[in-house]
Amino acid sequence: MNAISSRQQDILMLARAQGRVSVDDLASRFDVSPQTIRKDLNDLCVRRLMSRVHGGAVVASGVENVAYEARRVMAQGAKRAIGDAAARVVPNRASLFINIGTTTEEVARALHDHEDLLVITNNLNVATELYRHPKIELIMAGGPVRHADGAVIGSVAVDFVRQFRVDYAVIGASAIEEDGTLLDFDYREVQVARAIIDNARQVILVADRSKLERSAPVRIGHISEIDTFITDAVPSPALRAACVQHSVELIEVGGSDDEGF
């Protein structure tokens, strides 16, 4: 296999900084045809350095997550629609956990009109979104804060979460395998997620379809532990079958920020 070209190296650097790259943007940036960029991306995918998504590609890292600011703008429209749908599942006068993730943050944004909610979170961004609302009681977990994204993680946060038993848990995942395995990157974050799942009566998983195209090294759990899965689309027949098998309510909001690859 030939060495990676300088343009392909630049594409990788851009993807690591931005989270995803598109064919059209790269063609314009490097002043080459879209066909040339597609070939570059295909070469990088063959080397397992990137993964194809609609309209472009993302870094194919199974060890390290994409930078937080880049994740915030990836599939932003889909995440907002997912957040709106999740908020409709949660009734007024409910108690809920909201954990780490850019999609769970969209759920928090969509809860503004709810009344008499109790929200417990280990996500500083969720707390910033909700603390001003007089009809939402907010409780923030304690513990070390991860600088990359404002996540409160570790054993202190786990012990804190275990003090509660709530109506709903809203959780995210960094990757979802076709058999329904839910994965993440940081075992300390997963410990908190496990405590959240174990101490909620209903578990809502929110994740856009790009999570089906990624991998991560730490197991959170399985789709069978989820009551409601809200996403933009599930193209995998195997994952759809797993949802049916385990009586998981699947809500697909449709839509995408991406063009066809």
Give the pLDDT confidence score for residue 1 in this predicted structure.
58
How confident is the model over 237-255, as a mean pLDDT? 95
What distance, in Å, lies between the first and last C-alpha atoms of the chain?
24
- In DSSP terms, 118 is beta-bridged to 95, 137
Q: Please state at what angle helix 76-89 crosses helix 102-110, rounded to 10 degrees.
A: 50
Give the pLDDT confidence score for residue 257 in this predicted structure.
46
78: enclosing H helix or E strand: helix 76-89
Q: How far is CA 240 from CA 46, 183, 228, 259, in A?
A: 27, 17, 13, 23
Distance CA 92, CA 118 (A): 10
| Residue 214: pLDDT over 50 | yes
How confident is the model over 176-201, as a mean pLDDT? 95
Give the pLDDT confidence score for residue 39 in this predicted structure.
93
List, in order of start, the domains of the chain with CATH numbers. Answer: 6-60 (1.10.10.10), 70-252 (3.40.50.1360)
Give the pLDDT confidence score for residue 255 in this predicted structure.
64
| Residue 63: pLDDT over 50 | no
Distance CA 171, CA 148 (A): 19
Looking at mean pLDDT, say which of 10-14, 60-64, 99-103, 160-164 comes out highest: 160-164
Burial 125-140 (b: 16+ CB within 10 A, else e): bbbebbeebeebebeb
| Residue 108: pLDDT over 50 | yes
The DSSP string of 81-136 is HHHHHHHHHSPTT-EEEE-SSHHHHHHHHHTTT--SEEEEESBHHHHHHHTT-TTE
Burial 234-257 (b: 16+ CB within 10 A, else e): bebeebeebbeeeebebbbbeebb
Give the pLDDT confidence score for residue 140 in this predicted structure.
97
If we measure between CA atoms, which residue out of 144, 149, 143, 80 comes closest to residue 108? 80
